Amino acid sequence: MTPLDFLYAAGAAWLAAALAGLLAARTPGGLRACCALSAVGGAAAAAGGGWSLIYGNTALVSLGAPTVTGGPLQLQATSLAGAFTALLGVVAVAIAMYAPRYHEPSLGTGLYLAAYNLALLACLGVLAAGGMVTFLVAWETMSLACYLLILRHPRSGESARGAFWFLALSEAGFLLVVAAFVILSAKTGSTSLPGIAARAAAVPGGWRAAAYLLALAGFGFKAGLVPLHVWLPEAHPVAPADGSAFLSGVVVKLGIYGIALFAFRLVVPAGTWPGLVTMGGGAVTAAIGILYAMAERDIKRFLAWSTIENAGIIVTAFGAAMIFHASGQQALWTFLLIAGIYHVANHGCYKSLLFLEAGVTEHTTGTRDMDRLGGLVRQLPRSAVIAFVGTLGIAALPPLNGFVSEWLIFQGLFQGFRTGSHLTGILIVLAAGTLGLTGGLAVYAFVRGFGIPYLGMPRTRQAAAASEAGQPVAGPGLLAVACVALAVGVPIVLAALSRAARTVTGVSLGPLLLPGKLTVIPAHADFSAFSPTYLAVFLVCALAVPALIYLAGRPRAGSVSVPVWDGGIVSFRPRMQYSAMTFSAPTRVTFDALYRPAVSVTRQSDDDPAGRSGPVHYEARVAPVFQRYLYQPAVRALEWLADLVRPIQSGDVNLYLLYVFAVILLAYLLGAV
């Protein structure tokens, strides 16, 4: 019995769920059956993934006869993929618990769920792929299935646009990934991943670097690295909430898995510069991601940009790991791999949670615009508490899981001085500084992201009328529990991840990382130590101090209890509160050069000859720099090239016959040669 058997079970369950969705989701019972099967698959995947972390790599399994596409189906459950598979499983279970109350039973839902479960299956295929062809086929299937996911609600072109961006960039990335794999398999002579990994050291450094860079760019499209990220803010708002949760929680992580696969297992490029490029790209992505998140009013676009930020953090960690490996610091190489994967798991949990809650918000209030919400903590108390747990996690506040993984990444980056090269050390410090900026902005952004919709007074009647009846709570609740478990069970998680990392890097960090049961020595023995468990206990006890003071100092008889002094305001109006954009105004003003807002102000008094005052219309748009300066020129260049080639299609049949004749002649001549 190996973990791979669990993955088989998961795959079978998801295939069955896809069929059930296709056939039966028009009825509530069928919808629930489909989701139950999906949950079973998720549980199996989670179990299999978790087990394979400690089991190690299974043997390569070849299924089916060699086909014309290049080989049989090759599967292998690796430890590196184990964490990602476990995350896939947990998110799948949570979404399966969420979906029956979120979707209406209908034909559209059935098709959607079929596509979704197919996407789950394809993700599993990517993670369990043991061979190049299996990987690529699964990857492309996943992209197409996700494209169908995003198209669930085709309304007025908005959905089509988001889905198109996703597909276009997925295909661009796929091309690069295929190129990378082809280079590797051609140079190593094997198409199975273990085979490539074993022989990669013999490949000349230049080819390895080329393969790695192609893979970084190709998987970077999926992971959301700047400037390849453009599909994320377009696709997430239009997909249904659980689809967005799946995209951000799992699909983006698959891009990161691809980068990790190439960086740590398949290619392991030589020299520090691939690591520097990766780390730099990651740091820039993180900073840009959170900065653009600050300018968003739409909750889902905001969360999408935050996903880009976190992907940047993870890739920074991987890049720094590669630098340490090139400098001979194997322990730090392994440590940052562990920290990066920990952050993958954490982010998968809390980002999916936040997206599911955004879906609940959208369904109960009818809007995704933060400036139309407010006071939801009173209308949707359970959802607010769960969203708060997710917000604490993503803002990296102790004692939750986001804090632990970001802390570990920072500890790893702070070891930059051990690389031996001053320049590299300085660049690593710069990356750490960028991550620090990102962390601070993330807290700011998520105070806004939780405070504006959930706290304060409702800004519109729809927000005031929201009700939690019939809304899914168990799914996001499971993810909240997972967040807390990942925070509380730090020793267990780190022990499992070090076992997994050992199969990739050969370095066993377990005893170094966790000398005692509850204390963690990150990165290096004489640098720092911290104990998340004690920290959590301390924080809880610290909360007891104000409670005790309150209890001891309760008003005695004869005192009068009066409301808090609020400046004597007679009645509070919702318009008196911060809006989402005014709250982020300091950042938007400071980073004005990045946003390049196009502001238009029209006053009614402009047109009035008497100059009477009236409504002022103010509009500010953030400039889409990447579309404008990167993608549109690229598309125009492509169109220009196509224009050059157009004369070939003249429409004249005689010319076409001439083409046919010329090609046959050429083939004949070539064959004769």
Partner 1 sequence: MTAEELRETIARQFGRSLHIRTLDTGSCAVCEQEIRLLAAPHYDLHRLGFFFTPAPRHADLLLVTGPMIRAFEVAVRKTYAAMPGPKVVVATGACALGGVYPEDPFTHGTVGAVLPVDVWIPGCPPSPLALLHGLGVAVGKLAERVRDLSFTAPDYTERAGGDS
By the criterion CB under 8 A, which residues form the site for partner 1? 560, 562-563, 565-566, 568-570
Residue 564 Cβ vs partner 1, minimum distance, rounded to whole Å = 8
Contact present, 147 and 161 (Cβ < 8 Å)? no
Q: Given the complex with partner 1, which of 547 and 570 has the nearer CB atom? A: 570
Q: Select 553 or 609, whichever has its Cβ closest to partner 1.
A: 553
| 498-526 core/surface letters (b: 16 or more CB in 10 A; e: else) | bbbbbbbbebebbebbbeeeeebbbbbee
**Residue 618, φ and ψ in degrees, nearest 5:** -120, 130
CA dihedral 128, 133, 137, 140 (to 10 degrees): 100
Q: How far is the CB of 548 from partner 1 (least distance, A)?
A: 23
Q: Residue 558 Cβ, how far from partner 1 at the closest point, in Å?
A: 10
In a 13 Å sphere around the CA of 103, the CA atoms on its Cβ side amount to: 34
Q: Which one, 562 or 645, has the nearer CB to partner 1?
A: 562
CB 565 to partner 1: min, Å: 4
Q: Kindly state the smallest distance separating residue 158's Cβ from partner 1, in Å.
A: 47
* Residue 156 C-beta: closest distance to partner 1, Å: 48
Please compute, for residue 590, the number of CA atoms within 13 A of its CA located in the half-sphere on the CB side: 8
Q: Is the Cβ of residue 559 or residue 649 nearer to partner 1 in the bound state?
A: 559
Cβ of residue 555: shortest distance to partner 1, in angstroms?
12
Instruction: Name the residue nearer to partner 1 (CB basis): 570 or 653.
Output: 570
**Residue closer to partner 1, measured from CB, 570 or 599:** 570
Rounded Cα–Cα distance for residues 311 and 347 (Å): 9
Output the smallest distance, CB 553 to partner 1, in A: 14
Backbone angles phi, psi at 359, to 5 degrees: -65, -40
User: What's the min distance (Å) between Cβ of 84 and partner 1?
Assistant: 55
CB of 565 or CB of 640, closer to partner 1 = 565
Question: Nearest distance from residue 569's CB to partner 1, in Å?
Answer: 7
Smallest separation (angstroms) from partner 1 to the CB of 554: 16
Closer residue to partner 1 in complex, CB, 65/569: 569
Q: Closest CB to partner 1 among 206 and 563?
A: 563
> How far is C-alpha 508 from the chain's CA centre?
28
Alpha-carbon distances, residue 509 vs 84, 227, 330, 564, 588 (angstroms)? 20, 35, 10, 54, 43
Hey, how many other C-beta atoms are within 10 angstroms of the C-beta on 187? 18
CB of 549 to partner 1, least distance (A): 18
Cα distances (Å, whole numbers) of residue 186 to 136, 183, 208, 217, 455: 16, 5, 12, 20, 58
CB 85 within 8 A of CB 124: yes
**208 Cβ contact list (under 8 Å, min separation 6):** 200, 267, 268, 269, 270
Query: What SS3 class is residue 236?
Result: helix
105, 156, 143, 125: which is closest to 45 by C-alpha? 125
Nearer to partner 1, 543 or 570 (CB): 570
CB of 377 to partner 1, least distance (A): 25
Residue placing its CB nearer to partner 1 in the complex, 564 or 645: 564
Judged by beta carbon, residue 551 or residue 569, the one nearer partner 1 is: 569
How many whole angstroms separate alpha carbon 498 and alpha carbon 502? 6
Query: Which is it for strands 73-75 and 616-621: parallel, antiparallel or unpaired?
Result: unpaired
* Cα dihedral value 344, 349, 351, 353, nearest 10: 170
3-state secondary structure 53-110: HHHCCCCCEEECCCCCCCCCEEECCCHHHHHHHHHHHHHHHHHHHHHHHHCCCCHHHH
The answer to whether 20 touches 105, Cβ cutoff 8 Å, is no
Residue with tokens 């009477």: 612
How is residue 524 written in tokens?
């290096």
Q: Is 364 exposed, middle or buried (0-12, 13-18, 19+ CB in 10 A)?
A: buried
Burial-class residue 26 by CB neighbours within 10 Å (0-12, 13-18, 19+): middle
Sole residue written with tokens 């051990």: 418
Name which of 461 and 554 has its Cβ closer to partner 1. 554
Q: How far is the CB of 561 from partner 1 (least distance, A)?
A: 10
Instruction: Choose between 567 and 609: whose C-beta lies nearer to partner 1.
Output: 567
295 in Cβ contact with 318 (< 8 Å): no
Q: Which is nearer to partner 1, 554 or 612 (CB)?
A: 554
- Residue closer to partner 1, measured from CB, 469 or 562: 562
**Minimum distance, C-beta of residue 336 to partner 1, in the bound complex (Å):** 51
**Amino acid letter for position 616:** V
B/e letters for 214-234, b = 16+ CB within 10 Å, e = fewer, are bbbbbbbbbbbbbbbbbbbbb
In the complex, the smallest distance separating the C-beta of residue 576 from partner 1, rounded to whole angstroms, is 15
The nearer residue to partner 1, 568 or 647, going by C-beta atoms, is: 568
Q: Report the DSSP beta bridge partners of residue 129.
A: 75
- The Cβ-side half-sphere exposure at 72, using a 13 Å CA radius, reads 10
